[in-house]
């Protein structure tokens, strides 16, 4: 009987995965025994299923949960709830270690930081869109990118809120005036793209404008599709090489075609010794200008720009979307915020100190980040045999062995919802909890340690500014129906609200006359 070639190819691929998995298990088992004797470690508990090698049952269930937009919920309730706070799981022949334990996350990000890398798999699966930069680099490349970005994120740089006001004014002016429901999350992604491109490139994409150019709209579409493609490849793990999407390849080219001329112009200006300060602001140096003066190649500059733009756009947009989602279904919280804003500002534009000084506003932002962290899951790869402080042994109290090459996934989405850490109301949106909470590694919306998000303050200020300006401008942000919406996820590289943040906006009878 003759079998189709594609069937034989698939069978061969599965056989190779199986043999590699068995060989890796035997090697790890020998090293684990030796390391355990020397350091008092024990293996983490295992998420067992009916397929003990490839974990096909887990793979299918997780795929179904992802399709139903409950992937993170499935991990939180069904996996951590069943197998404990630290466990290993087999997925397509690869053994992964998952944890939501703050002590282990602290070890990954701080105390044993040098034992873990971002890893080659993330670089391979994102390189077609992003190249190599802050998001996916290790070692000197990452250190250089971070050092170059840091001068652009000092307090003096981010405290100048004129950039936010410029684009939020365009946003509010572009919204329909008839009271129909709009998806504020979709608008937030446009806003953060416009802000991010102007902050980094010195020129805005302009996608907030109703008359946005076709080129800008294509760039926004292509960037969205590219980010989704990267996420799909990372999630497929070892199966990523078998995944091909012509639209993804096309999107990557469109993104590069948009950015490359901007980079070329910056390099031309440097060569003419004319680009030393950002011309729109006497004291501000754009990230592009800094890179152009570093002597990097055009591709290296493009790689760094796209890595930073990914963080600048998606993190803030996801946070804003979740904030609008809760505002639309929480009229009491909305009223408290508006009262604080009106009492504090008395009709003027907020400055840096105002945003930092409004207590309830900051509680609201922190609670949004707790329940809806923009980056709910992250991965590190052990570069040597090492260990985590807890999670090993039958009761999970012994140190857990982590072999070299082991991928460790830490899920702050689940950490942020643990009842033993946050109380029985951990699933409830309650800003007032921050009156007394002083969290450590149980709260990590922006990571920690050397790889803490360098744009953390920028994202917090940007979101706070948008919330304040909308509540100054509108008397009500109401959900599209009388029944509060149930949150669903849209999890790619970041996590946004699956159904969007829909709201009907009612302008104030006497709108705030904001003046600087």
* pLDDT beyond 60 at 515: no
Mean pLDDT of 10-14: 74
DSSP state, 85?
S
- Residue 472: CB partners within 8 Å, gap ≥ 6? 341, 342, 345, 347, 511, 512, 514
Per-residue pLDDT at 420 exceeds 90: yes
> What mean pLDDT do residues 158-179 have?
90
Phi, psi at residue 87, to the nearest 5°? -160, 165
Mean pLDDT of 176-187: 90
Question: What is the pLDDT at residue 275?
Answer: 45
Average pLDDT (425-453) is: 95
Which residues neighbour 52 within 8 Å (Cβ) at sequence distance 6 or greater? 90
Backbone angles phi, psi at 385, to 5 degrees: -65, 125
> How many angstroms separate the CA atoms of 83 and 328, rounded?
36
> CA 326, CA 337: separation in Å to the nearest integer?
12
Query: Which residue bears the tokens 């070299």?
Result: 404
- The H helix count followed by the E strand count for the chain is 20, 13
Q: What is the mean predicted confidence (pLDDT) over 4-26?
A: 73
411 pLDDT tier (thresholds 50, 70, 90): very high
Residue with tokens 């995944």: 243
Annotated binding site for heme: 453
Torsion sign over Cα 468, 470, 475, 479? negative
pLDDT tens digits along 55-104: 888 888 998 999 999 999 999 999 999 999 999 998 887 889 999 999 99
Sequence-ordered list of residues with C-beta below 8 angstroms from that of 378, at least 6 positions apart, any chain? 409, 410, 412, 447
Residue 36 token pair: 């355990």
Query: What's the CA dihedral at 191, 194, 199, 204 to 10 degrees?
Result: -160
This prediction's pTM:
0.89
Whole-number percent of the chain with pLDDT over 90: 62
Summarize the annotated binding site as residue ranges. Answer: 453
- In this prediction, residues 217-234 reach a mean pLDDT of 93
CA distance 460 to 24: 43
pLDDT band at 349 (very low <50, low <70, confident <90, very high): very high
In this predicted model, which residue has the larger pLDDT, 433 or 289?
Answer: 433
Q: Are 301 and 263 spatial neighbours (Cβ–Cβ below 8 Å)?
A: yes
- Strand, helix or coil at 309? helix
Token reading at 68: 């139903």
Neighbours of 288 (CB within 10 A): 29
pLDDT at residue 7 above 80?
no
Tell me, what's the pLDDT at 278? 46
Query: How large a percentage of the chain has pLDDT more than 70?
Result: 93
Q: Which range (222-226, 270-274, 494-498) has the least confidence?
A: 270-274
- pLDDT (average), residues 186-190: 96
Q: What is the pLDDT of residues 234-257, one digit of tens each?
A: 888 777 787 788 899 999 999 999
């Amino acid at each position: 009987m003759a079998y189709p070639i594609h069937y034989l190819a698939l069978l061969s691929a599965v056989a190779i995965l199986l043999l590699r998995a068995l060989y890796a298990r035997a090697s790890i088992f020998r090293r684990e025994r030796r390391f355990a004797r020397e350091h008092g470690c024990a293996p983490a508990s295992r998420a067992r299923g009916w397929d003990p090698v490839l974990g096909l049952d887990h793979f299918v269930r997780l795929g179904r949960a992802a399709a139903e937009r409950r992937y993170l919920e499935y991990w939180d309730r069904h996996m951590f709830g069943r197998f404990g706070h630290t466990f290993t799981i087999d997925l397509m022949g690869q053994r992964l270690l998952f944890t939501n334990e703050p002590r282990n996350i602290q070890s990954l990000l701080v105390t044993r930081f040098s034992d873990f890398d971002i890893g080659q798999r993330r670089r391979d699966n994102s390189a077609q869109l992003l190249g190599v930069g802050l998001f996916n680099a290790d070692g000197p490349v990452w250190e250089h990118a971070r050092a170059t970005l840091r001068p652009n994120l000092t307090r003096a740089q981010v405290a100048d809120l004129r950039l936010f006001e410029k684009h939020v004014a365009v946003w509010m002016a572009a919204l329909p005036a008839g009271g129909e429901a709009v998806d504020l999350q979709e608008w937030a992604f446009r806003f953060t793209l416009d802000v991010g491109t102007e902050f980094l490139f010195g020129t805005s994409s302009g996608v907030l404008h109703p008359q946005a150019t076709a080129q800008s709209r294509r760039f926004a579409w292509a960037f969205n599709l590219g980010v989704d493609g990267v996420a799909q490849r990372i999630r497929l793990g070892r199966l990523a090489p078998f995944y091909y999407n012509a639209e993804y390849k096309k999107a990557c080219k469109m993104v590069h075609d948009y950015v490359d001329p901007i980079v070329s112009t910056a390099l031309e200006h440097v060569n003419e010794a004319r680009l030393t300060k950002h011309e729109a602001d006497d004291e501000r140096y754009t990230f592009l200008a800094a890179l152009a003066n570093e002597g990097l190649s055009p591709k290296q500059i493009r790689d760094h720009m796209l890595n930073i733009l990914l963080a600048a756009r998606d993190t803030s947009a996801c946070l804003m979307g979740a904030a609008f989602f809760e505002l639309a279904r929480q009229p009491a919280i909305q009223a408290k915020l508006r009262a604080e804003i009106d009492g504090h500002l008395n009709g003027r534009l907020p400055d840096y100190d105002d945003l930092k000084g409004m207590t309830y506003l900051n509680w609201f932002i922190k609670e949004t980040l707790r329940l809806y962290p923009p980056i709910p899951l992250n991965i590190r790869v052990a570069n040597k045999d090492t260990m985590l402080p807890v999670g090993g042994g039958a009761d999970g109290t012994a140190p857990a062995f982590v072999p070299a090459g082991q991928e460790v996934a830490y899920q702050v989405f689940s950490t942020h919802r643990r009842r033993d850490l946050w109380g029985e109301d951990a699933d409830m949106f309650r800003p007032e909890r921050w009156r007394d909470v002083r969290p450590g590694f149980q709260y990590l919306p922006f990571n920690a340690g050397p790889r803490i998000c360098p744009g953390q303050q920028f994202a917090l200020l940007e979101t706070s500014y948008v919330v304040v300006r909308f509540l100054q401008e509108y008397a009500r942000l109401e959900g599209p129906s009388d029944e509060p919406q149930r949150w669903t996820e849209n999890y790619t590289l970041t996590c946004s609200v699956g159904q969007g943040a829909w709201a009907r906006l009612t302008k104030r009878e006497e709108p705030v006359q904001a003046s600087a």
